[in-house]
Each structure stands twice: as C-alpha cells, then as structure tokens.
Amino acid sequence: MKNLRITLLVLACMSATTAFAQWQWIDKSGRKVFSDQPPPADVPDSKIIRRAGGRPADPAPEPVAAASSKASAASMPKVAGKDKALEEKKKQAAATEAEKKKAQEEEAAKAAADRCDRAKRAKATMDSGIRIATTNAKGEREILDDNARADEVKRADATIARDCK
C-alpha cells in the first residue's frame, strides 16, 4: 500500500511538470501563441514572452537597428479601436438579455393580474354573506365563522392593494 502511494505521488509530480512546459510568444501577425513546443526559429527572442518550465523570457532583448525597428513597426498589424464581431456579439447578448427581462416582467404582470382577479372574486364571495366551507388538515369540512371570514377579507384586501394597480 505504501509503494502504491509513493508511485502515485511520483506520477502526480511528473504530470505537474508537463503543465509548466508551456511556451508563449507573439507571432508575425501580432497574436499571442501558446504551445508546448518552442517557437519557430524565425521568432526573435524579444517576441518570446514565456519559456518552458514557467520561466519568463530573458529581460535583455536582442539589439535592433533603427531601420529594422521601423520596418518591424510597419509590419505589425494596426490595432483597430473596436472589434466588429465582438461588438455584434455584445449587441446580440444585450438584445437577448432585454428580451428575457421583458418576458419575465410580462409573466410577473400576468401573475399579478391573476392574483388580483382571484382576490377580487374571493372578496366578493366573502362580502356576499353565503356560508363558506373549507377543509382542515385532517380532511374534515369546516364552516367559516365570522372571525375566519374577517381574516380572509383582510388577506383579499391586502392582495388587492398589492396586485391591483
């Protein structure tokens, strides 16, 4: 059992080191590239952000002549202020969210109108003076007395005040 634990510990440590074997660099088009393989030979050291083993890139960039820096700046893609696809997705997400919110509000209004209607009918029934029977927890039939009737009228009035606007 002890050998099994040691074996599992060794395997876990070995698999953890592969997670650190990640390279990160900026390619010719200006995008960040993540890989477990080193970058191609044409990628200068100044473009390497992270080396395998979790080590950051060397802080000393390679010397660059003024003419080559202008050429590399010209070859870099120009960053636009907005990404049209991203903006479109944001608009669609906002529209979908607005639709959901509107549907929820309509459903809540419909439920409030239903509660209002039920409360008005219950109050009208209580005000009519007819005898009303209910069923208790044991399943027995009980006739509402004046106090119970008054409580039901108060509940109906509260529901009408809250939901009938």
Each residue's pLDDT expressed in tens, for the chain with a length of 165 residues: 677 778 777 666 665 555 555 888 898 888 888 888 888 888 888 888 888 776 666 655 545 454 455 555 556 666 556 788 889 999 999 999 999 999 999 999 999 999 999 999 999 998 888 898 889 999 999 998 989 899 999 999 999 999 888
Task: Specify if 94 maps to a domain.
Answer: no
Task: Specify if 29 maps to a domain.
Answer: yes
- pLDDT of 35: 85
- Residue 155 structural domain: 110-165
Task: Specify if 11 maps to a domain.
Answer: yes
Task: Specify if 85 maps to a domain.
Answer: no
Task: Specify if 116 maps to a domain.
Answer: yes
Structural domains counted in the chain: 2
pTM of the predicted model as reported, rounded to 2 decimal places: 0.43
Residues 6+ apart with CB under 8 A from 119: 155, 156, 157, 159, 160, 163, 164
Task: Specify if 93 maps to a domain.
Answer: no
Task: Specify if 98 maps to a domain.
Answer: no
3-state SS, one letter per residue, for the chain? CHHHHHHHHHHHHHHHHHHCCCEEEECCCCCEEEECCCCCCCCCHHHEEECHHHCECCCCCCCCCHHHHHHHHHHCCCCCCCCHHHHHHHHHHHHHHHHHHHHHHHHHHHHHHHHHHHHHHHHHHHHHCCCCEEECCCCCEEECCHHHHHHHHHHHHHHHHHHCC
